[in-house]
Each structure stands twice: as C-alpha cells, then as structure tokens.
Amino acid sequence: MNPHLGSKVHQRAHAKAISDAQRYLFSRDGENIVYVGTTNQLKPLIDLVVITNFRLMGVLLSHPHESPKIQAWWPQVRSFSFGERWNTLNRLTVVTQDGRQLHFGTIPEQDVPHVHAHAERFMSAEAPGATHLLPTPPPVSPVPAPLPVMAPKPAVTTQPEPVAETPDPPVAATPMEDRRFLAEIDAAQRVSRKWPFALLVTEGAAIAMRGNGWPVAVAGLLLALAIASVERSRRRPRVEYADSEPHVVVFARLEAAFQQACSTDMLWQIPGEAKIGETERRANGGAGFSVRRENASASFGGVPGIVIDLDVPRLESPAWTLYFCPDRILSRSRGGVWAERRYRELRVAHGTVRMIEDMTPPQDARIVGRTWEHVTVRGGPDRRFKSNRELPIVEYGELVITAGGARTAWMTSRPETVETLALALAAAGAR
C-alpha cells in the first residue's frame, strides 16, 4: 500500500494517522488507502482527507484514534464539486443520493487534480469493491394473482331504461402551471378604458343644458368613478392558491424560512465585489476583497398588478425585488424590468463569508476574530499609525440566486438563515 501523499503532508504525520486509525480505516476486507491530503474544514473539525477504494473520509490528526468526523461511501455519492468563488475556492463538497451536502474543507491547489481523478474513478460502476457496500435487498417472493370472480348476470327486463341527459361539460380553467402572470397583466393593461368616454359624454350634455345641467354633471362623475373602479379590478388577474394542496405544502416551508429571515437584524444585497491590491490590503485590515452592500429587507405582501389570495414572501433592495410565489418567482430590477421564472429554473448556492467590519456589527452576528485597521505583513498591528482601531471579523451567511442571465447575492447577519432559505427553495424545485 503506497498511497499518494498531498503536497503539504509529511511522511511522519501520514504514518501516525494510519497507525492510530487502524480500527476504522480498514473496517472491510480489501480496503486500501490511495490518497492522504490536508484540508482546513472547521465544522466538523478535520485536517486530513483520506480516500480509499470504498469511501471518502475526514480525519482529525490530533485525535486519529476516534471514528471519522465525516465520511461518504462511494455508492452513496451522487456528485462532488470544488468551489470557484473567492470565499469557497477549491472547497470540496459532496452531495449524497438523499440530497445531503458534506463539506470536506479546502483542498490545496496542487492536490485538486488527484482528488478529482480518484473520485471520478471510484464513483464509476467499474470501480473495484465499490458496488457491494450497500446491503442487497432480500428477494421478493411473487404474489399469486387472485382468482377471477364471476359476476352475477343482470336480470333481463323488457322495459326500456330511460336515458339520462348528459349535461354540457364545464369549461376547464387554465391550470396554474400553464399560467403566465406577466402575460396576463400585460393583456389586462391593454384593454381599453371606457370611463373617460362616459365622463366626456355626460359632461358634454351638462354643458349643453347650461345652467340646469349640474345634476347631469354630478351623475356623470359618479358614473365614471363606478366604471373606473370596475375596470381597475378587471385589469388585475386573480390568482388563487388555496385549492392547490401541493402548492400550499411548498409555500408553508417558504413562509417559515422567510419568517426566520424577517427576524434577522441585518439583511443586505450585494451588487458587486472587487479584489484589493497588496498595498491597499494593509490599510483595510488585511482583507482580500472589497464588498459593496446595500440595505435590504424581507417581508410579506402582495404582488403589484395581481390579486392573490395570500401574502407572498419578498426580498427588497434598491436594485432588486423578488416575489416568491408558491410555484414561481417574480423579479423586478432597478429599471422596472419584470421577469418570471419557475423554481426549477433557479440555481441556488449558499455558504458563509467572513468580513472585517469597520462599523458596529449586528447584535445577532457571530464574531469569529479580531484584526487591526492597519496591519503589517505578518498580520499584526502597524505601530506607525497612531489611530489604529481594532476591528471585529464577523461571519455572515450568503445566498446566491441565479436565473438565466440574472444573478443576485444576499447576505444576512445570521448564517443559519441562508441555509434555511436555500433548503426551502430546493424543496420548491430549485437546483
């Protein structure tokens, strides 16, 4: 057994980890270690990634004698990926067959091709020892088909039976899945308005009657207001979800997730981010990226232009407003451009990001460290600056929603909130 060692693994550390973990590393006959590499996963805490021909494990080097902190058997793995964003670069994430996400931390850049190759090989059906790990279900004995039952013959009658009149079938309403809200709103807005003509005719008659036409003018004004009210209600399509049980179940989970989002102290929308140079980095507490944030809010309410029978969750910011209906999402950009997407068209990603706050952090935020406004190359305070404030390092949650060519990023002061939102959107059909 000569496993491949990662770029930052020492032979002594590798030998100690394997010798102390003999009890669970070789729990099955024929299991062989093919790769040992470093990682930096914090929750659960692991610092070694071990790949065998049966499974993928995360091991804590300081306590290698304990069972694996995290593991995934290859037949149970549906997919794996490496992060590409600046805050998740080379982070190994494994998705199991039941939809769970297992994080194995950041893999060194030099080791990513080796991990990728081993994972691809053992996930294939031809991998040795990778197809017999899951228990085989017992054979099901065939159930004999029931014997046919002879129905009694109907009595023969000489009286002709009356033929019931078949009523005309009712006109079927358009299924909710086939409706296009924005198209219905646009069609309703194109209907010509009749109240201006009614007002013009009655006011013209009142003028023609000279001094005796004021009752006609008042009646014409009231008639025009009544017609305008009826037309306004008809110009808004009516949407009812109360009779659709699948939509009600999905919406209940969305509603619970957004109630948690409404209780967070701070919510932001991220229009963009920029990389900071080495010189500016020392003057910004050692941060590698500058993030531009706009205050946002989560709330419940109606959708403009639609009469809907429930309060829809929404995320609002100066740049975007997202309306989360039970079966679709409506978005409005800063320029007033609307878009309509089904949940299956969405791609949702979430995670945590650490930021250096130059202002007072929210009360429900998690402070994970401290730094200085001006730092040296080694990360300590720069003594050349007299006013060198100590700044908190805060961990926030980030939710990225992508639909077509539009991408919106949202940040909350509580990291667990974005995970709840992401799971609720995934239950609605988002990927």
Q: How does strand 70-73 pair with strand 338-342? A: unpaired
User: In terms of domains, do 323 and 211 share one?
Assistant: no
Same domain? 36 vs 108 = yes
Torsion 189-191-192-198 (CA) sign? negative
Query: 49 in a domain, yes or no?
Result: yes
* Amino acid letter for position 159: Q
Count of helices and strands (H, E) across the chain: 9, 21
Cα(199)–Cα(201) distance, integer angstroms: 6
Of 79, 97, 123, the last residue of a domain is 123
End-to-end CA distance of the chain: 40
User: Would residue 153 count as lying in a domain?
Assistant: no
Domain boundary among 123, 142, 161: 123
From the list 427, 409, 390, 142, the residue with the least C-alpha distance to 289 is 409
Model pLDDT, residue 156: 43
Amino acid in the structure at residue 166: T
| Residues 399 and 269 sit within 8 Å (Cβ to Cβ) | no
Same domain, 367 and 410: yes
Q: Which of 372, 425, 374, 380 is nearest to 402 (CA)?
A: 425
What is the chain's pLDDT, residue by residue, as a tens digit (431 residues)?
567 777 777 666 666 666 666 666 655 667 888 888 888 776 667 778 888 888 888 887 666 556 777 888 888 888 888 887 766 778 888 988 888 888 888 888 888 888 888 888 888 754 444 433 444 444 444 444 444 444 444 444 444 444 444 444 443 444 455 566 667 766 665 666 666 777 788 778 777 777 677 787 788 788 878 877 776 666 667 777 765 566 677 788 888 899 999 999 999 998 865 444 444 544 555 555 667 889 999 999 888 777 787 888 999 998 889 999 888 888 888 777 888 888 888 899 999 988 888 888 999 999 999 888 888 777 777 788 878 888 899 999 999 998 877 888 999 999 999 999 999 898 888 87
Residues 16 and 64 in one domain: yes
Question: DSSP state, 229?
Answer: H
pLDDT value of position 140:
43
CATH number at residue 46: 2.30.29.30
The count of structural domains within the chain is 3
- Specify the pLDDT at position 339: 85
Instruction: Write down the pLDDT at residue 298.
Output: 92
Q: How far, CA to CA in Å, does 422 sit from each of 161, 174, 324, 346?
A: 62, 30, 13, 11
Establish if 142 belongs to a structural domain: no
197 found inside a domain = yes
- Are 398 and 414 in contact by the 8 Å Cβ rule? The answer is no
Among 21, 32, 43, which Cα is nearest to 91's? 43
DSSP code for 265: S
For the chain, the maximum distance between any two Cα atoms, rounded to a whole number of angstroms, is 114
Report DSSP letters for 327-363, one per residue. SEEEEEETTS-EEEEEGGGEEEEEEEEEEE-SSPPPT
Same structural domain for residues 423 and 289? Answer: yes
Residue 186 lies in a domain: no
Structural domain including 318 reads: 245-428
Q: Do the bridges between strand 238-239 and strand 307-308 make them parallel or antiparallel, or are there none, so unpaired?
A: parallel
Whether residues 196 and 325 fall in one domain: no
- Domain co-membership, 322 together with 303: yes
User: Do residues 229 and 266 share a domain?
Assistant: no
Bridge partners of 58, per DSSP, are 49, 70
The pLDDT of residue 266 is: 92
Residues 341 and 208 in one domain: no
Residues 259 and 228 in one domain: no
Looking at the structure, tell me whether residues 320 and 420 fall in a common domain: yes
In a domain, 114, yes or no: yes
Assign 35 to helix, strand or coil: strand
pLDDT computed for residue 236 by the predictor? 67
Which strands sit side by side in the sheet containing 312-316, from one edge to the other? 297-301, 312-316, 320-324, 328-333, 338-342
Residue 180 within a domain: no
Residue 250 in domain: yes
Question: Is the same domain home to 297 and 402?
Answer: yes
Q: Pick from 234, 257, 284: which residue ends a domain?
A: 234
**In 3D, which of 248, 271, 263 has the Cα closest to residue 298?**
263
CA angle 102, 106, 111 (to 5 degrees): 110
Q: List the Cα angle 222/224/229 in 5-degree steps.
A: 95
